Structure 1
Amino acid sequence: MRLPLVAAMISVLVSGSAHAVNVYDDNGTQLNVFGRLEGGFYNKQANRTRDHNQKSKASVEGEARLGVSASSTLVTNIKAVAFGEWEVSSESSDNDRFDTRYAYTGFDLCQYGTLVFGQGDTARYITVGMNDVFEHYGDNSNSYWELGGRQEGQIMYVNAVGGYTFGFSYQTPRDNMATHLHRDTLMVQDLDVNAGYAAAMAYNWQDGLLESLAFSLSYDWYDFHKSPAGDRHGFSAGLSYGHLNDGIYTSFVYSMDKYQREDHHMSGFEGVLGYTMDNGLGATLGYGYYGYENRKREVSEITSQVAYHFSPAFMTYFEGRFGLGRVDFPVEETSQHASYMINVQYNF
């Protein structure tokens, strides 16, 4: 049986992909290599929204990821750990550039948690990650991804005790981390981070009537140095049940965010329901909403995926993002376009 999603995130932070291949193991030192190769058909709108790809026509595209994880015993119950993952797209103007997804190193303190430094997910991901179950979509219903999700220059700590998971991350200064559209002035501005932090707590019921149920709360704050929008506060609460890609999995995350110098707050929610059969066939459906001032819709979309796992390493899937009605911000009655892809993926 697979771990609940929150517990799985802890194992990734420490050791890497479930498909990792051990290439070195001697005298307390391990080195694992993992990755994936993917290719398939993307419609016109999907190509326009892909990272580093501005193609204006439907086409067949490919991409690859490569990762390494390492650990070495320093003293009893303390290990040095390192983790890195990079991605490169093919058939695009950026196909010679590897983009860093994760790059951190630090200490595995056994029962006292893991402390790492570098680029990775903030503690708030422990909550919003409950809905991060699609291969490409499902990331528009909260502000977590505005700074890129996996952020540079962080100190990250996580610990799992019994059914509890605790996380804390601190963001050091970074210029031009993202751009932000001020919702009152409609001016686009760069976000320079002077400092920030995130904290999260989750609980997984491990037995009894509530087995496989997980609950999580998280909060983050960022000092956007010199930004007219001011500081940002964000809060998320999430609930999930089941095991991803193993029977039923469902989750719901609510988020609320407020920029200091914007008149109102943003709020959003996303729900996911999926089921994977024993033969490897699975389907997942999600709905996401995000709005400003409680009534101006910025996001209202359905995300769907149908996948077939030929083996634990090889799968094919259809995934799409479809707007549900028109949205009202920043321009009222804005049409939404459907994005979809049909891909095959090999993990190692």
Structure 2
Amino acid sequence: MQAARSPPANGRQSRAGNAASRVIRRSVRDGGGLRRLPECGAAHRARPPTRVYRPPCVRHKAVIVEAPMRIRVERGCRRARLRRTPMSALPAPPHTLLLATDLRGRCDRATDRARQLARQWQAQLHVVHVLPPGNESWPTLPLDLEPASPSADAAYAMQQLRREFVDDDAVQLHVIEGTPADAILELAVTIGCDLIVLGSDDEPPVGRLGRVLESLLRRSPISLLAVRKRPRSAYAQVLVGTDFTTESRYGLEAAVAWLPTARLTLMHVLDVAYQSLWLDAPHVDPLLAMEHDTMQAFLADTPLPADASTRLQTQLEHGHAERVLREVAIASGVDLIVISAFRRGLAFHILVGGTVRRIVPTAPCDVLLVRAPA
């Protein structure tokens, strides 16, 4: 015969347990989707039923929602505060660039930008043209005509490259055969490339990506620059996206170090999942103050040189990341958008968790994807 279960020591523990069982954690950055996250403190479990909106926790990225009775905006728990890290050196500018070109007309934009960056950073510039395997480059030739041999195609491509870079003796030229994305990545790894540069064909708002560009953006472990506009000078107005993560911090550090004369705008976009809070007038000011505090703490935790503050400003927006990026870039005359990602995985978080295939096609300017060390 089993012994009767003893009641809890006091009623508060029971009520706290029931309240804790109703806690739902939803990621702010992932745009929804339930997942279990670490507790932010025992004090939250013992509170009376209420709906609590806490600023996105840098460590946990969670909003704790209990019973939908009323809303109270808080400034976050102690465990959610940004943690200080030792000051470290900024990432050095790339010392080896790889320009991928298909020798078509609009590739001159990426070519001019690669040359300008190589001069600015005193970097070694490599240029590659990839020939399709076999005779795939001539799919529509009449049957009575013999296609050129691969060696003839390679010789012609090399001739075109030498003519383009006749005044740049230090440029290394490569003509290789294979699948474009695979061949570019293999060569980039072989030469120790730090940045791949290529053109972006379609003008927004078409919203399409070339197959090679899309594949490289998803797969490349190396930072990548997609050039859309014809360069007139060095980058002057730069928009840096942040979601307060480690990789976005690295992207900010790279922007500051690689572009020492550009004016930078560090922008965070609040997720549209909380549009009701944003449009609810009594909560707009506390929400903005909360996000502003998080932005300032993020900056204080980022090892930037003292003079960076003179050319760095912050901006908070609300909406869909790709739309906000485009609108702000057009309104502010931005000529480069910087986003960041870890070296691992096919997807990454940018601002509120959008993917590269939504950001790059709609951007009205060049886009730099900075790969943070894993």
If the length of structure 2 is used for normalisation, what is the TM-score? Answer: 0.24
| Max Rg structure | 2
Which gives a bigger RCO, structure 1 or 2 (Cα 8 Å, sep 6+)? 2
